[in-house]
Amino acid sequence: MKEERQKKCLFRTEAGSKSGLGHFSRCRALALKLFSAGYEVKFCGPGLEFERFFGQETSFELLPAYSEEKASFIEACLEGSLLKSLSGGFLILDSYSFSGLDLKLMSNACKKHAVVFVMIDDLADREIQADFLINPNPAASDSWYAGMAIKKVFTGASYTLIRPEITDLKRTYDPSGPVLITLGGSQAEKDLIALLETVPDEYFRKIYLSFPSATENLESYVSDSSLKLVLNRDSAKFPELLTKASLAVTAGGTALWEVCCLGLPCAVHILVDNQRKSVKTIKEHEIAFLLDFSLNLGSLLLDFERKPEKFLEQVPKQKALIDGKGAERAVKNIFEAQYP
């Protein structure tokens, strides 16, 4: 009797000082569900360092040969050797750098080699051709992809991809805990410093800054500041810091949805244009306060000290929006559609 070959799954994504960790985090949430379903899981992409991202994860493999140039990755797909090794499995792409033409070429190559092509996207700013698409932004709807050559689309809060390090957290809220700020890659440092400049020198709480790609400039600012600032470079400690925090300040990406899943008073500073799509959801569901020209960080923190109950009202609304089962739901529904 011929032994059945283990199916494979390859994720192409990115991480680092420019893109932050959001793409990798949501891919990893999906990857763990596929691994639990019996798939051999591999990753490739720029900025993925084995020790940093996979050091404690023995179930995944990193493929450095396909991790750098986009053009060489596409060429490997079109040439066929890479996709032949994935036949019967999945190629999952989460990246802003691939054009509509790139996606069309890769989708056609996947069909040729019996590989299921899955796209993770939160922009809807290019023509996408794929077997399946997941948009984990709660603001997203299937209508964003109307008319595109996609077999099935999964969008919105039901498919927000949250890693198990967050969904498995157990915590008791401590109103005396520190403030936690995380805004993404090193490109956010100017915004961070501008936010901190609005905080009164006498503010009494510790403020943890979770920035894995912190530069010497940020280190110097922290050491010279009169505020009680603590810099955290270790992304693995982020879930632990969340459990201790009394208030979180995030950008409008993956970290925001992780905060909502846990349930923690929150404020959001929108960094880049693609995060502006989250503003409608934030306002509609009242899950966070928005930092902008009318509300700076200093004013928000003083308001938090005076009226903490106003912030705590966010928590049940956050948890009602993000239940942490998005990855499980996505894998289940993709399997049902692909293998009816």
SS3 295: strand
Annotation: CATH topology of 8-162+324-338: Rossmann fold (3.40.50)
Question: Residue 319 corresponds to which tokens in the numbers above?
Answer: 């948890």
> What is the model's pLDDT at position 197?
96
> What is the model's pLDDT at position 1?
39
Low pLDDT (below 70) residues in the chain: 1-5, 17-19, 50-58, 185-187
At position 194, the amino acid (one-letter code) is A
Annotation: CATH topology of 165-321: Rossmann fold (3.40.50)
> What is the model's pLDDT at position 111?
97
> What is the model's pLDDT at position 20?
74
The CATH 3.40.50.11190 portion of the chain extends over 8-162+324-338
> What is the model's pLDDT at position 101?
97
The CATH 3.40.50.2000 portion of the chain extends over 165-321
Q: What does the buried/exposed string (b/e) look like for 236-256 if buried means 16 or more CB atoms within 10 Å of the residue's CB?
A: eebbebbbebbbbbbbbbbbb
> What is the model's pLDDT at position 55?
55
Backbone φ and ψ for 86, nearest 5 degrees, come out as -100, 0
**Burial label, 94 (beta-carbon count in 10 A; 0-12, 13-18, 19+):** buried
Instruction: Kindly give the interhelix angle for 22-36 and 326-338, rounded to the nearest 10 degrees.
Output: 60
Q: What count of other Cβ atoms lies within 10 Å of the Cβ of residue 309?
A: 8
**Burial label, 188 (beta-carbon count in 10 A; 0-12, 13-18, 19+):** buried
For residue range 48-90, list pLDDT tens digits in order.
Answer: 876 666 655 567 888 887 877 899 999 999 999 899 999 999 9
**C-alpha to C-alpha distance for 10 and 83, rounded to whole angstroms:** 9
Distance spanning both ends of the chain, measured CA to CA: 25
pTM: predicted TM-score of the whole model, two decimal places: 0.93
> What is the model's pLDDT at position 136?
97
